[in-house]
Amino acid sequence: MTRLKISVQAADFDLAAEYAAIATQPGIGGIGCFIGQVRAGSDLISLTLEHYPGMTEKALHAIAHQASQRWPLHAITIIHRIGTLTIGQPIVLVLAAAAHRHAALSATQFLIDWLKTDAPFWKQERFSDGGSHWVEARQSDQQARQAWDIPLG
Amino acid sequence: MTRLKISVQAADFDLAAEYAAIATQPGIGGIGCFIGQVRAGSDLISLTLEHYPGMTEKALHAIAHQASQRWPLHAITIIHRIGTLTIGQPIVLVLAAAAHRHAALSATQFLIDWLKTDAPFWKQERFSDGGSHWVEARQSDQQARQAWDIPLG
Amino acid sequence: MITVLYFAWVRDRVGTDAETLALPAGVTTLGALLTHLASLSPRHANALARPELLRAAVNQLFARPETPIAPGDEIAIFPPLTGG
Amino acid sequence: MITVLYFAWVRDRVGTDAETLALPAGVTTLGALLTHLASLSPRHANALARPELLRAAVNQLFARPETPIAPGDEIAIFPPLTGG
C-alpha cells in the first residue's frame, strides 16, 4: 500500500513536515524529493499558476497510481501551488519513498516528468514592464514524459 | 560556480535548513534531494557507520566535482552521518540545485550512486540476538555507478 | 445542454471562462464541437483558429477530436499544459 | 617508514587499526606490500588471505596492486565500501 498525499493549494508547503510525515513509515530506506521554484528570468516579476479544479486532482491521482504500478513505493506526496508566486518561491513538491534508492529516485523523476505534461496547470509570466504572457509548453517536456514508455530492448 | 557543502558528522542533519541554505541562490529552478535512512530488517537493531577520516572528505569532494563537470549545478550538499544509528534514522542527505529539473535530479542520482561505491564508509549491522556483521558491498551498487560511464551510442 | 470551460489564453481570447449551450443536432464528437464553437463569435473563431495549439478534456479526461460527446458533458478547451 | 591503516572487518581480523613499519627492500608496489603484511602474523595472514575481497588506498587515493609505494606513504586496506 502506498501512502498518498495530493494537494493543490495557494499556501506554501513545509518541506520538513512533509518529509517527517512519510519518513517514519516502516520499511523505508530511501526518500527522493524534487522541489520546483520560480526561476529568475530577464525582467520576470512573478508567475501566476492557474489550474482546472476537479480535473487536476484526478490527474495527479492517476499519475501517482502510474508510479505506484511501476515501483514498490511506500509513500508519494505531490503538492502543487496555484496563484501568483514571485521569484524564488516554491511551486511544486514531489516526494517518493521506497525500500531502495533506485525506486525512490526514479519515481520522483517520473512523477515530475508526468506532472509537467499530464496535470492541467498553466503558467502566466508577468514582467517589470507591465507585460505578461502565457508560458508555452516545451517539446522537451513531452519527450521526457514519453521516454518513460520507450521499450529498452 | 557551484556552491558546495560537504560534511561527515555524527549529528543528525536539518533538511529544512539545508534546503533553505541553497534555495535562495539566484537562478535555481529545481532542487533534487535524496535521503537514505536505516531500513528495518529482521532483528536489526542498529547500524554503525565507520569511515576513513581525511580520505572521506576528499572522496566526497571528488564526487561533487565530477557531478559539477557533468551538469550545470548551482549548489551541491552532501551530508553523511557516522556512528551508531537506529532504525528509521537518517544516514545521508544529498541535495543538487540547478536551473532545470533534469540536471538537478540526474545529479542527485549520480551523487548517491557514486557515494555508494567511491566514498570510504563501512556499515556494521547489530541484531537483537547480540550478533553483528559487516554489510557486504552489493554488485548492483557497482553496476549503478558504472552505468554513468556507458556510452549511449 | 453541455458546459464548455476555457483556460489560460483560450479563456482570455474567448472572453469567458465557462458557457452553457445546447448541443446542435449532428455534433457528436469533440472535433465537430470545436468547429461549432468557432462559429459562435469572432472571439471564438480567433481563440479556436489553430486546433493544433489546443488540448481538451471531456468530463475531466483528456480527449481527442474523435472523442464522443453527449448532452450533460463537461468539455474543457485549453493550451498545452505548463505546470510543475 | 610507512603507515598502514585497517578498516572494518580487516581491522577486526588484524586486531589493530594502524601500524607503522619499515618498508622492506624490494617492496615497491601495493601488491608486494600486501604479501609482506600477510607474513607478519597469523592474524595478518587471515585478514589478508583473499585479496579479491580487499580494497586499498595509497595516500588517500584508491590504489591497485601495481600502485607504487614509497617511504612516508599512508596505505589503507579495507573491504569494499558500503556507505550511503
pLDDT in tens, D6-22: 999 999 999 999 999 99
pLDDT value of position A26: 87
Residue numbers in B near D84 (CB within 8 A): 36, 80, 91-92, 112, 115-116, 119, 121
Q: Is D81 on the interface with B (CB under 8 A)?
A: yes
Q: What homologous superfamily is domain A3-147 in, according to CATH? A: Molybdopterin biosynthesis MoaE subunit (3.90.1170.40)
| Structural domain boundaries in chain B | 3-147
Nearest CA in chain A to B140: A102
- Please give the C-alpha separations between residue B127 and each of A132, B42, B87, in angstroms, as whole numbers: 62, 8, 11
CA distance B55 to chain A (A): 25
Taking an 8 Å cut-off on Cβ atoms, the answer to whether A35 and B33 are in contact is yes
Query: What's the confidence (pLDDT) of residue A149?
Result: 78
Grouped pLDDT means (10 residues each) for chain C, 84 residues: 98 98 95 96 96 95 96 97 95
Q: Give yes or no for residue B152 having a pLDDT over 80.
A: no
Nearest to D65 by CA among D78, D51, D44: D51
- The pLDDT value recorded for residue A153 is 57
Residue numbers in C near A112 (CB within 8 A): 84
SS (H, E, C) C12-43: HHHCCCEEEECCCCCCCEHHHHHHHHHCCCHH
Residue identified by cell 557507520 is B49
The reply to whether residue A144 touches residue B102, judged by beta carbons under 8 angstroms, is yes
**A90 to B23: CB separation less than 8 angstroms, yes or no:** yes
Q: In what order do the strands lie in the sheet with C61-63?
A: C18-21, C2-6, C74-78, C55-58, C61-63
Question: A105 — phi, psi (to 5°)?
Answer: -75, -35
In the predicted model, is pLDDT for residue A108 greater than 90?
Answer: yes
Task: Using DSSP bridges, classify how beta strands A73-81 and A30-37 pair: parallel, antiparallel or unpaired.
Answer: unpaired
Taking an 8 Å cut-off on Cβ atoms, the answer to whether C84 and A51 are in contact is no
C-beta atoms of B116 and D80 within 8 A: no
Residue B16 pLDDT greater than 70, yes or no: yes
Q: CB contact, 8 Å: A29 with chain B?
A: yes
- What pLDDT score was predicted for residue A70? 97
In this prediction, what percent of chain B has a pLDDT beyond 70? 97
Give the SS3 label for residue B7: strand
| Residue B151: per-residue pLDDT | 65
Q: By CA distance, what is A96's nearest residue in B?
A: B34
Domains with residue ranges and CATH for chain C: 2-78 (3.10.20.30)
pTM: 0.95
Confidence tier at B120 by pLDDT (50, 70, 90): very high
